[in-house]
């Protein structure tokens, strides 16, 4: 089987373990991980830490000062100079009479080597130390349960089986199987590219048909995930390099840096000089020796010719330019840890980027608030504001977008004065909708519901078109779904809005009251591109750099964003499109396509690796 085919299709043992844990009950998961709700004892935690190591992701080995010294002084070109300086030492000083001894050539060559090497060495050490100092200033802790007590410890000390307490604002320190959750919503945009927070439920197992989508398991959260709201308790199932994030970091860390055209050029010049010296110097020696008869003078002249062929100042010039480049980049807020990275950066011909938060603002905005005639309508925005403002559950990015839009277009102070909250029916993952009941002073109550299309259509039996209310027919449902499809093609996420006047009495509201609603409008949201992205991508194209999007988001939204910023949208491939493909076909697909969607972090790394194998 072709190498790339194996690369794209293999399943790691760690992924299979996550699947096993996700399908177990919380009690079974605790048993599998040899833990309990009381947490590990200090002794157990110490033993596991010694066995599995610190909870750290893989990084490149820290370069020592000796490494920087060797790297700075022992380059191919300086080795040529050092060789010639050694030869000159013998021919100009050791083997000549005292009155003819001359070290000027040797001194010049050694001086050039020292200046070039020291400049590179000092710059690399200074920037490396600056980066290390910044990293050492960061201290991250995690709230865990040890010895039946909750405590804060360094995230590095977290081990498999630890019981973790998570709350809004936390960054998940390891891969965790959830045991208890309360209105827990999290964002995994760093892993799957999805900007919208999703609910996690400890007691909900993944569907069998979705087992391959392990990043979407409702009862598992992964290292690097951000907790948006709610709280939960979980047991650690993987730490360090065994986490999804850690395996990705390890793969990237193990990849050797490819030689740039600059590096190859320097090596080729060195080889050329050595070749010319090896050919010309002997010829000069032979011709001079045969024609003049003085073989000693012929030898000295041949060595002088070899020295003359070598541009001694070249290492200093190269190093000085690299230092100047690093200083210029530092003025723009970029620390150059290794000067050779400037060469790598300049030699790039493909830039692989995520979509969410990189090309886009990672900030959802309410792009449109349409009535059922697909016209902007302030009443739709007013109802949406009542729903989002008065709820006490999770205010996600969409709720904030509604509140922001209403603050710009409506008199929200008047709305807050005129209405009081009566009750609410919180969002849950199964219903995929939430409702708020409010009362207007001197008027009756109104129940306002917003949610996903299918779930909303299931609880509506009427529609409001203008001021006219009529029955919701199957034909009209198809019309609504067609409108949603059209909005999705524009890269918009759509939520439906409905209401009911004078619902059941206060204090009696529950999920069963979400029925016989009146469908009234569409709320369409967009994660817009950053203002300067289009110009930046245009400049990259002019510089000969091809941009490819690697995201976990869906094809429709990604294609819309790509169109807005001027990227090629002819080909769009997902992770599933690579299944059962041969090596050459995969290489062709990766080359021709600029948009890769629904990718796991591992597949992003694999695509980058294939691009490198293709010579980029």
Q: Residue 391: which CATH number?
A: 3.40.1110.10
Q: Residue 24: which CATH number?
A: 2.70.150.10
How far is residue 388's CA from residue 419's CA, in Å, rounded to a whole number?
13
How far is residue 522's CA from residue 450's CA, in Å, rounded to a whole number?
9
User: Which residues have C-beta within 8 Å of that of residue 322, sequence separation ≥ 6?
Assistant: 120, 123, 339, 340, 342, 343
Instruction: For residue 23, give the nearest of 205, 237, 209, 213 by alpha carbon.
Output: 205
The token pair at 570 is 């002819």
Q: Are 234 and 272 contained in the same domain? A: no
Tell me if 181 is assigned to some domain: yes
Q: Are 131 and 180 contained in the same domain? A: no
498 has pLDDT over 70: yes
Q: Are 510 and 418 contained in the same domain? A: yes
| Structural domain ending residue among the three candidates 341, 373, 391 | 341
Q: Are 22 and 73 contained in the same domain? A: no
Cα dihedral sign for 390, 396, 399, 405?
positive
The token pair at 399 is 């709720």
**Would you place residue 10 in the very low, low, confident or very high pLDDT band (cuts 50, 70, 90)?**
very low
Q: Are 159 and 212 contained in the same domain? A: yes
For residue range 537-566, what is the model confidence (pLDDT) as tens digits?
Answer: 999 989 889 999 998 777 887 888 888 888
The bridge status of strand 595-597 relative to strand 468-471 is: unpaired
User: Are 1 and 7 within 8 A, CB to CB?
Assistant: no
Q: Are 499 and 398 contained in the same domain? A: yes
| Structural domain ending residue among the three candidates 493, 526, 559 | 526
Q: Are 484 and 606 contained in the same domain? A: no
Q: What is the pLDDT of residue 456?
A: 94
Q: Are 542 and 426 contained in the same domain? A: no
Print the domain residue range for 25. 15-56+139-254
Tell me if 9 is assigned to some domain: no
How far is residue 477's CA from residue 461's CA, in Å, rounded to a whole number?
10
Q: Give 523's strand partners.
A: 369, 495
Q: Which residue has the tokens 């309410």?
A: 366
Tell me if 4 is assigned to some domain: no
Q: Are 250 and 130 contained in the same domain? A: no
Q: Are 485 and 541 contained in the same domain? A: no
Query: 516 catalytic, yes or no?
Result: no
Tell me if 7 is assigned to some domain: no
How far is residue 113's CA from residue 108's CA, in Å, rounded to a whole number?
9
Tell me if 8 is assigned to some domain: no
Q: Residue 545: which CATH number?
A: 3.40.50.1000
Burial degree of 11 (CB within 10 A; 0-12, 13-18, 19+): exposed
Tell me if 555 is assigned to some domain: yes
Query: Global pTM?
Result: 0.57
Tell me if 386 is assigned to some domain: yes
Q: Are 474 and 517 contained in the same domain? A: yes
| Structural domain ending residue among the three candidates 526, 556, 572 | 526
Q: Which of 162, 175, 219, 354 is an active site residue?
A: 354
Q: Are 25 and 174 contained in the same domain? A: yes
For residue range 276-329, what is the model confidence (pLDDT) as tens digits?
Answer: 777 887 888 888 888 877 787 777 677 767 666 666 566 667 777 777 777 777
How crowded is residue 67: how many other Cβ atoms within 10 Å of its Cβ?
13
Long-range contacts of 41-50 (CB under 8 A, 24+ apart): 41/146, 41/147, 42/146, 42/147, 44/161, 45/146, 45/157, 45/159, 45/162, 48/159, 48/160, 48/161, 49/157, 49/159
How far is residue 559's CA from residue 236's CA, in Å, rounded to a whole number?
37
Tell me if 335 is assigned to some domain: yes
**Would you place residue 1 in the very low, low, confident or very high pLDDT band (cuts 50, 70, 90)?**
very low
Convert 64-78 into a string of H (helix), E (strand) and C (coil). CHHHHHHHHHCCHHH
For residue range 79-129, what is the model confidence (pLDDT) as tens digits?
Answer: 777 877 887 787 777 777 787 788 887 888 788 788 878 877 887 787 777
The structural domain count of the chain equals: 4
How far is residue 362's CA from residue 258's CA, in Å, rounded to a whole number?
32
How far is residue 248's CA from residue 57's CA, in Å, rounded to a whole number?
9
């Amino acid at each position: 089987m072709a190498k790339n085919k194996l690369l794209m299709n293999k399943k790691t043992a760690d992924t299979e373990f996550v699947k096993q844990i996700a399908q177990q009950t919380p009690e079974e998961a605790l048993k599998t991980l040899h833990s309990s709700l009381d947490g590990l004892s200090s002794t157990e935690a110490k033993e596991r830490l010694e066995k599995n190591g610190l909870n750290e992701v893989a990084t490149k080995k820290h370069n020592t000062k000796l490494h920087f010294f060797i790297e700075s002084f022992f380059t191919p070109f300086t080795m040529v100079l050092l060789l010639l300086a050694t030869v000159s030492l013998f021919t100009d000083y050791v083997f000549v009479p005292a009155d003819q001894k001359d070290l000027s050539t040797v001194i010049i060559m050694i001086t050039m080597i020292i200046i070039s090497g020291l400049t590179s060495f000092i710059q690399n050490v200074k920037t490396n130390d600056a980066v290390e100092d910044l990293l050492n200033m960061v201290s991250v802790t995690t709230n865990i349960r040890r010895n039946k007590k909750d405590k804060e410890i360094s995230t590095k000390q977290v081990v498999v089986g630890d019981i973790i307490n998570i709350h809004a604002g936390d960054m998940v320190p390891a891969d965790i199987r959830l045991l208890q959750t309360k209105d827990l919503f999290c964002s995994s945009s760093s892993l799957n590219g999805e900007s919208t927070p999703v609910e996690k439920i400890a007691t909900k197992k993944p569907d069998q048909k979705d087992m391959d989508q392990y990043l979407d398991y409702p009862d598992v959260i992964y290292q690097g995930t951000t907790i948006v709201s709610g709280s939960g308790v979980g047991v650690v199932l993987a730490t360090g390099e065994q986490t999804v994030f850690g395996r990705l970091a390890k793969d990237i860390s193990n990849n050797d840096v490819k030689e740039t055209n600059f590096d190859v050029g320097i090596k080729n010049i060195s080889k050329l000089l050595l070749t010319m010296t090896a050919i010309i110097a002997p010829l000069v020696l032979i011709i001079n020796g045969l024609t003049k008869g003085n073989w000693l003078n012929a030898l000295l002249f041949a060595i002088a010719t070899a020295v003359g062929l070598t541009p001694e100042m070249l290492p200093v010039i190269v190093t000085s330019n690299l230092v100047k480049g690093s200083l210029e980049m530092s003025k723009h807020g970029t620390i150059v840890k290794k000067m050779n990275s400037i060469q790598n950066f300049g030699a790039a011909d493909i830039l692989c980027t995520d979509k969410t938060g990189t090309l886009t603002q990672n900030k959802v905005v309410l792009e449109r608030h349409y009535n059922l005639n697909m016209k902007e309508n302030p009443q739709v925005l007013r109802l949406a504001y009542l729903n989002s403002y008065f709820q006490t559950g999770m205010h996600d990015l969409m709720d904030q977008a509604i509140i922001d839009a209403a603050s710009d277009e409506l008199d929200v102070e008047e709305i807050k004065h005129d209405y009081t909250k009566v009750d609410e029916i919180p969002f849950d993952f199964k219903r995929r909708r939430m409702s708020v009941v409010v009362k207007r002073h001197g008027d009756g109550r109104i129940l306002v519901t917003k949610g996903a299309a299918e779930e909303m259509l299931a609880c509506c039996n009427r529609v409001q078109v203008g001021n006219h209310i009529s029955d919701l027919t199957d034909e009209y449902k198809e019309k609504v779904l067609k409108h949603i499809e059209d909005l999705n093609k524009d890269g918009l996420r759509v939520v439906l809005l409905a209401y009911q006047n004078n619902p059941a009495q206060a204090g009696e509201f529950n999920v069963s009251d979400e029925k016989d609603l009146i469908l009234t409008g569409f709320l369409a949201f967009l994660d817009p591109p950053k203002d300067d992205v289009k110009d930046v991508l245009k400049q990259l194209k002019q510089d000969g750099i091809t941009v490819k999007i690697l995201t976990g988001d869906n094809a429709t939204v990604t294609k819309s964003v790509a169109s807005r910023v001027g990227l090629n949208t002819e080909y769009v491939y997902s992770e599933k499109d690579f299944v059962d493909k041969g090596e050459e076909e995969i290489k062709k697909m990766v080359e021709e396509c600029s948009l890769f969607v629904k990718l796991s972090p591992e597949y992003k790394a694999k695509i980058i690796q294939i691009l490198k194998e293709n010579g980029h």
